[in-house]
Amino acid sequence: MRGSIFIETLKQTWKQMLYWGLGLASMGLLIVLMVPVFDMQQMSELLKNLPPIMLAMIGVGKDLDLFATAEGFVAIGFFGKFALIFAVYPVVMGMRITANDEDDGIMDMVLSLPVQRAWVILERFAAYTVTIIGVVAMIYIGMSVGVAFSSVELNMPALAAVIIMLIPVLTFVMAFTMLTATIVRRRQVAFGIITAFVVASFMIQTVGAMAEGTFAEPIGWISFFTYYNAGHILANGLTATHIVSLLALSLVLIGLSIQRFEQRNIGI
């Protein structure tokens, strides 16, 4: 029956979603509660005099007014610095789509049921995407609770854009993980490759921002983290081309995963 794998996957994953969501939401809550004691609060005027190279290093771009606000610091300090941490969740979930079952030798049992391989991948991917949305929603709720219980005034709609942008980025990471797992089969190898991909992307983006004007800057554009620039999103809102590009790339990766998974033998 269509949708049964989707529902079963959600049943098996809702606890993990809750744990991850609560953990990250607690961080968001604490960040908001601690805004009044951040050093940043005394620095707004000074920041306005910073030259472009320094702004690039911080990840702010040229729109400094927003960075001098509480939500600016939360967005750039928290969402910018924790991008690598956020990427762990879609990697863990992406490994569950095929790699874990195949490595445990139970994928052949799953596929002995009257379900098509393509639907196994599609329904699992859809279910884990729902959990990503759940985790992201919990981060937003955590921060909103923090705002409600403190005297901090945060522009939550602006922060919501930064939080929402996590969804296409994390979905892309999960799709890449899934494709890697369907190609290499073995969990440890897939995990190694995806870790290298995420880590290299993060370093390329970080160094690219630090070394504005050198060869590292254009190289930085190949990193998917470049399209999760919290400062830029806060200043200019969501960029439709970034979202569409990431989602389109995810669709391509899903298509390739299905093609690869349908054409090969299953490890037992």
Residues that bind another protein (CB under 8 A): 16, 19, 23, 27, 30-31, 34, 37-40, 42-43, 46-47, 51, 53-54, 57-58, 73, 77-78, 81-82, 84-85, 88, 92, 188, 191-192, 195-196, 199-200, 202-203, 206-207, 210-211, 213-214, 216
Least CB distance to another protein at residue 199 (A): 5
Least CB distance to another protein at residue 257 (A): 22
Least CB distance to another protein at residue 43 (A): 5
Least CB distance to another protein at residue 139 (A): 13
Between 122 and 132, name the residue whose CB sits nearer to another protein: 132
User: If 0-12 CB within 10 Å is exposed, 13-18 middle and 19+ buried, where does residue 207 land?
Assistant: middle
Between 34 and 248, name the residue whose CB sits nearer to another protein: 34
Between 43 and 160, name the residue whose CB sits nearer to another protein: 43
Least CB distance to another protein at residue 243 (A): 26
Between 42 and 265, name the residue whose CB sits nearer to another protein: 42
d(CA 247, CA 252): 9
Between 79 and 172, name the residue whose CB sits nearer to another protein: 79
Token pair recorded at residue 268: 């037992």
Q: Which residues contact 179 (CB under 8 A, 6 or more apart)?
A: 253, 254, 256, 257, 260
